[in-house]
Structure 1
Amino acid sequence: MNARAYVAEALGTALLLAVVVGSGIMAQQLAAGNVAVALLANALATGAGLLVLITLLGPLSGAHFNPAVSLVMAWRGELPAGRLLPYLLCQVAGAVLGVWLAHAMFELPLWQLSQHVRTGWPQWLAEGVATAGLLLTILGGVRHARDKVPVLVALYIVAAYWFTASTSFANPAVTLARSLTDTFAGIRPQDVAGFVVAQLAGAALGGGLGSWLFTESAA
């Protein structure tokens, strides 16, 4: 069972990054310089990919694909402590492999470092909000509409692409891996730490608030 869960986390995160980066490359190539159209295409592809991946792999691993989600689930006791580190390693490794897969499909150099500047307190605030909202969506969905969690998460991420200044990375593994692509979806390596700190803060806020709001005794 553990092996299947770990493979599911690595595979799901890899395919998620392939979708994010690959659709960004395709969108940029086809949008003729229209950034709004490129972002819309990137957002819709990401949401569609998430819907499929969470639906198929959720029964195997919970479909976290995100260290922030795994940390909150471990804190809540829903992910055994012994699985936490393997989950995190699988997510990070899968994310990097997914970026390389996208590069290979578009005949780009596998090894790249992004030059895309993403820094400053508005973007950090956006990442905190995006990650807190993601955790609230997951926890609220599990409490009130478990069978709709894949749809809820997918729709939330599509929306968050547009209402956050950072376009909603909301995932430390995704952020790290996206520093390795100098394409539409990239982020400079020196900007990663600020995003990750904001994401972890947002996860703590969303996880704590969601655990209080969405409980049997909440009224």
Structure 2
Amino acid sequence: MSAPAPWRRLLAEFLGTGLLVAVVVGSGIAAQRLSPDDVGLQLLQNSTATVLGLTVLILLFGPVSGAHFNPVVSLADWWLGRRSGTGLATGEVAAYIVAQCLGAVCGAVLANVMFEVDAGMAVTERSGSGVLVGEVVATAGLVLLIFALARTGRGALAAPAVGAYIGAAYWFTSSTSFANPAVTAGRMFSDTFAGIAPVSVPAFVAVQLVGGAVGVLLVLSLYPGAGRAADAVVIPHENGAAPRPEPDRA
């Protein structure tokens, strides 16, 4: 099956990332309004909506672009696939990242408009060594999960698996699992429950990239042939068929 036109793939990444941020920010605003005195309940409502929304978005856009929605995933896809001629080409990964970042900003703005929130940059600072370690863990685990599923021919499970992982990571990581530079940048543009102050963004993005590198190293250690499955990330799509499981050899 031939690959979709490049503009269709970029549109899918733009829309998917934008709607993901709209889900995260919008559900955060709704949770804050519905449960103003219970932060724990707010996080439960926010994480539940994110799990469901992310799962649906992967199913919706995965057949077109692979549903990366995340610069770290796109970079890992390019890096792991470059030697075997699979995954994103250099120009494609740059275009994906631009589309993802633009979509994330638009998604935050859309959520603000829907809930009639005044425009403004977030003021919630998220910092501290523990929080940053949490982002490394969240991002590394996400990359490992995605490529493990693709390499073992289980990419069709990526939608529920990735949704479940992010939902769990909301709770088991100290950072509430942003794990995505584009989403992090987008959430600067909403001064709400889900926002992050611009001053906190550079450190978050830096440790997310570190987490992505850790995830790639773990993938290569556990699944040495993972690069051959880069066309099936995040979900098997028209750019390539899902690989058949086969033994990995170092």
Q: 1:88 and 2:85 equivalent?
A: no
Among 58, 62, 65, the alignment partner of 1:61 is 65
Higher-Rg structure is 2
Amino acid at match of 2:58: I
Query: Once the two structures are superposed, what CA deviation does each residue of 1:164-212 show, in whole Å capped at 9, x if it has no partner?
Result: 0010000001111111111000111001011111000000010221133
Question: 1:217 aligned to 2:248?
Answer: yes
User: Do 1:17 and 1:98's aligned partners in 2 also have CA atoms closer than 8 Å?
Assistant: yes
- Distance between the aligned counterparts of 2:74 and 2:207, measured in 1? 16
**Which stretches in structure 2 are left out of the alignment for 5+ residues?**
82-86, 226-246
SS at match of 2:160: helix
Task: Name the structure 2 match of 1:196.
Answer: 205
Q: Which residue of 1 aligns with 2:243?
A: none
Deviations 1:39-94 (A, max 9, x none): 00100100101100111111111101001111101111211212011101000000
Alignment match of 1:26 (pick from 30, 33, 58)? 30
The answer for the alignment partner of 2:41 in structure 1 is: 37
Measured in 2, the distance between the counterparts of 1:168 and 1:101 equals: 22
User: What CA distance in whole angstroms lies between the structure 2 residues aligned with 1:31 and 1:124?
Assistant: 27
Amino acid of the residue matched to residue 51 of structure 1? Answer: T
CA distance in 2, matches of 1:63, 1:180: 23
2:135 maps to which residue?
Answer: 127
SS of the residue 1:179 aligns to: helix
Distance 2:208 2:36 in 1: 32
Count of aligned pairs? 218
Trace 1:151-166 onto structure 2 (pairs within 5 A).
Answer: 151-166=160-175
The residue identity in structure 2 corresponding to 1:70 is: S
| Sequence identity percentage | 50
In 2, distance between residues paired with 1:118 and 1:190?
Answer: 9
Give TM-score scaled by structure 1 length.
0.97
| Partners of 1:194 and 1:218 in 2: CA distance | 37
- How far apart are the structure 1 equivalents of 2:188 and 2:196? 5
Inter-partner Cα distance in structure 2 for 1:64 and 1:147: 14
1:52 corresponds in structure 2 to: 56
**1:178 paired to 2:187:** yes
TM-score, structure 2 length as denominator?
Answer: 0.85
Q: Which runs of 4+ in 1 moved over 6 A?
A: none
Q: 1:100 aligns with which of 109, 129, 132?
A: 109
Quote the offset at 1:143 in angstroms: 2.1
1:69-88 mapped onto 2 (5 Å cutoff): 69-77=73-81, 78-88=87-97
User: 2:177 and 2:248 mapped to 1: Cα distance?
Assistant: 32
Deviations along 1:128-170, whole A, 9 cap, x unmatched?
A: 0000000011011112321101111000000000000010000
- Alpha-carbon RMSD across the aligned residues, in angstroms, is 1.1
Aligned to 1:142: 150
Separation in 2 of the partners of 1:94 and 1:108?
Answer: 19
Three-state SS of the structure 1 residue aligned to 2:194 is coil
Paired letter, 1:189: P
Q: State how far apart, in whole Å, the 2-side matches of 1:143 and 1:213 are.
A: 10
Distance in 1 separating the partners of 2:160 and 2:12: 19
Give the SS at the match of 1:107: coil
The question of whether the paired residues in 2 share the 8 Å contact of 1:139 and 1:211 is answered with no
